[in-house]
Amino acid sequence: MSTKNPVAHAMNYFLRRADTFTRFLTDGRICLSNNAAERALRGIALGRKAWLFAGSDRGGERAAAMYSLIVTARLNDVDPHAWLADVLARINDIPNPRLHELLPWHWKAHQQVHNTIAA
């Protein structure tokens, strides 16, 4: 096979980096695919076209803020729908110095305490 053949280039690339390509065999923490990372980014890719129609720069900023809140809830293992519904129902009754209690990580702890008391 000619060294200029694309297959030969690919084989040489692999052979020069064989330890990198086979590391998953000795380290169980390494995933065989990047499916998890791609799934995590799918929401951004799907929303990209919808965000073009936010209406204005201010609308785009609001959409970005909402997206940040939803992702923060997911990263804290909180159901974004339940969290937002509860927060929107309670936000008017909470004084400004206590607004931090509505953040997802505080909300989750509060819900766990509340569910333990109710049980």
Whether the Cβ atoms of residue 59 and residue 88 lie closer than 8 Å to each other: no
Q: What is the pLDDT of residue 97?
A: 92
Which of the 8 DSSP states describes residue 94?
S
Q: What is the pLDDT of residue 37?
A: 77
Q: Could you tell me the mean pLDDT of each successive run of 10 residues in the chain, 119 residues long?
A: 89 92 86 80 72 79 85 89 92 91 86 69
Q: What is the pLDDT of residue 88?
A: 92
Q: Which residue, 89, 84, 119, is CA-closest to 104?
A: 84
Q: What is the pLDDT of residue 80?
A: 92
Q: What is the pLDDT of residue 70?
A: 87
Q: What is the pLDDT of residue 53?
A: 73
